[in-house]
């Protein structure tokens, strides 16, 4: 079940402005509100919805590093890793939900490379492509990283076959740098990507 905006705000109030994880630990990933969306942490409790809506969809997975999830168990294992990162100050992952309904339809985040540069990534349900949601979410995540983390440099990649993702990056101020070949997490499948960089003055 997806928590509503009201439920998350109540949780934040009770925990002094932060969400409490099991074991009494406070997560680092904040809830972010945009014009049409609420970006909030994703957990194993979201697995069934996420699997049904996009991790099982080859139209989504063909353009990213992870492979299509064969069962909800694949999504659960991924979300277990994401739950661990909720306590991190170098990795932030959000679920994208519609503000008016709480409907979860995508995810994205930022994470730090060894050199301290943060990488931006995102994926959403095919039904919600080309409606400006990804750009809206990306700008919100970047705004958090710049204002709260004082981050000044970001990179992002998109599959050459997915130029719409490049348009999102350019709308966020990223500049194209060059092409790279990436390998999916299966260690076998490779695909051509374009690399972009954003420098904050």
pLDDT at 96: 97
Tokens at 52, concatenated = 């049904």
Nearest to 200 by CA among 156, 157, 153: 153
pTM equals 0.84
- Distance, in Å, from the CA atom of 180 to the CA atom of 42, rounded to the nearest integer, reads 30
Helix or strand holding residue 6 (H, E): helix 5-14
Q: What is the domain partition of the chain in residue ranges?
A: 5-150
Model confidence band, residue 8 (pLDDT cutoffs 50, 70, 90): very low
| 39: Cβ contacts below 8 Å, ≥ 6 apart | 31, 32, 33, 94, 95, 96, 97, 137, 140, 141
Nearest to 117 by CA among 182, 29, 196, 179: 196
Q: Pick the residue with more confidence: 196 or 22?
A: 196
- Strand, helix or coil for residue 182: strand
Evaluate whether 69 touches 56 at the Cβ level (below 8 Å): yes
Query: Residue 172: its pLDDT value, please?
Result: 98
Q: How far is CA 138 from CA 3, 34, 61, 168, in A?
A: 22, 11, 18, 8
65-75 residue pLDDT tens? 888 999 999 99
What is the CATH architecture assignment of 5-150?
3-Layer(aba) Sandwich (3.40)
pLDDT tens-digit profile of 27-37? 578 899 999 99
SS3 string of 110-138? EEECCCCCEEEEEEECHHHCCCCHHHHHH
Q: What is the dihedral of CA 66, 71, 77, 80, to 10 degrees?
A: 100
List Cα–Cα distances, 7 to 40, 108, 134, 137, in angstroms: 12, 21, 24, 21
Choose among 119, 122, 142: nearest CA to 196.
Answer: 119
Per DSSP bridges, beta strands 118-124 and 153-159 are: parallel
């Amino acid at each position: 079940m997806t928590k509503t905006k009201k439920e998350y705000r109540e949780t934040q109030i009770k925990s002094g402005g932060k969400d409490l994880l099991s074991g009494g630990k406070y997560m680092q990933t904040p809830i972010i509100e945009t014009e049409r969306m609420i970006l909030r942490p994703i957990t194993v409790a979201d697995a069934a919805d996420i699997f049904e809506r996009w991790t099982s969809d080859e139209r989504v997975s063909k353009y990213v590093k992870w492979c299509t999830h064969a069962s909800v168990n694949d999504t659960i294992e991924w979300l277990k890793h994401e739950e661990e990162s909720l306590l991190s100050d170098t990795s932030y992952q959000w679920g994208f939900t519609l503000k008016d309904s709480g409907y979860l339809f995508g995810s994205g985040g930022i994470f730090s490379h060894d050199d301290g540069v943060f990488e931006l990534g995102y994926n959403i349900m095919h039904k919600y492509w080309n409606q400006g949601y990804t750009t809206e979410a990306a700008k919100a995540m970047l705004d958090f990283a710049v204002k709260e983390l004082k981050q000044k440099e970001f990179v992002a990649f998109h599959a050459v076959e997915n130029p719409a993702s490049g348009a999102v990056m350019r709308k966020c101020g990223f500049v194209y740098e060059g092409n790279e070949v990436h390998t999916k997490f299966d260690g076998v499948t490779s695909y051509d990507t374009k690399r972009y960089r954003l420098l904050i003055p």
